[in-house]
Amino acid sequence: MNIPPIHIKTDLTNQDEKTTIQEATKEELQLLIATMERELASGEFFTSHENYASIDLGKMPLLIEAANNKHVGLNLNFVSNPIDLPSEIGRAISNGKEQFRYVVNMGESGIHFAAIDCKMVDGKLSLLLMEPANLNSMGPAMLAMRVSSCLKREAEIIPKPHFCIAVMDIQRSNSECGIFSVGLAKKMFSERAPLDALHEEILSERLPDGMKCDVLEGEALDRLLPPTFYKHAQSQRRLDQYIRAHPDGNDTSVNKKGELLLDRAKRLMVPVDEKLISSSIHQKRIMEYSAISDDGKSV
């Protein structure tokens, strides 16, 4: 018996389906933002049961797209696994890019993000990885090791990189590495003068205080960077360390309101478990998610 084909009639066009998906995504984002705002108001932002690291991983392509739309020339891309980084860098160089950036995740076995700034100078590649936390934890250490290993293993794809890890040590919470990394990538673009100077030091292999070219941290790093890189630091102690190394770091405004670094930090400090923790990065996440919720191109 011949069974005639069944034709299912649908009223949804491809454009209708796309619009439906966009509306669902926007609704999801708005619910997430409402949860973030509620936790921020109640003081639960630091102890939230939401897995924001995983949520950020899923939304990272949208966050990156929104960042590129807002900052022309940012040249920011997302790399979900360090194994793909050399080919991404090689593609950027082949396309004539002289300076470009990445947010990179540690890969299949976990979630941890860092920001990377790449610059080509006279055929030489300088690569600066900004780690928002420190290398004493498994995630950051594993990510740094994987990036370094992948760069060395794929030497035929890209020029031999001059690689440096800048250990920012501004993250104290568990789930904010993604938002820190997006913010640091933007800052490496907007604060290009000190970054270009740092790339010159990396390429010449003459980093301050005789430090090795593979890791830059603490006072030696703090002296090189302007205060805007530290505006989301979560602990007062870390801010105090920065000011000791960079005494004029509290003389320059760090936002459009004209606030100084320490004044802004004081305004945003919240008591959590008998400690003062800055809510700045959590407010930053709300702003980033609001941007992708409001921008039709990104949803």
Residues identified as active-site: 112, 131, 177
Angle, in degrees to the nearest 10, between helices 261-268 and 280-294: 90
In the DSSP assignment, the letter for residue 174 is S
Enter the tokens of residue 276. 């003062």
Enter the tokens of residue 226. 């302007």
Q: What is the largest CA-CA distance in the chain?
A: 88
Kindly write down the DSSP assignment for every residue of 26-88, as one continuous string.
HHHHHHHHHHHHHHHHHT-TTS--S-HHHHHHHHHHHHHHHHHHHSTT--EEEESSGGGHHHH
Cα radius of gyration rounded to whole Å, the chain: 21
Q: How many CA atoms lie within 13 A of 220 on its CB side?
A: 16
Enter the tokens of residue 24. 């669902």
The values of phi and psi at residue 255, to 5°, are -150, 180
The values of phi and psi at residue 120, to 5°, are -95, 125
Which amino acid is it at 162?
H
Question: How many H-runs (helices) and E-runs (strands) does the chain carry?
Answer: 10, 8
Under DSSP, is residue 262 helix (H, G, I), strand (E, B) or coil?
Answer: helix
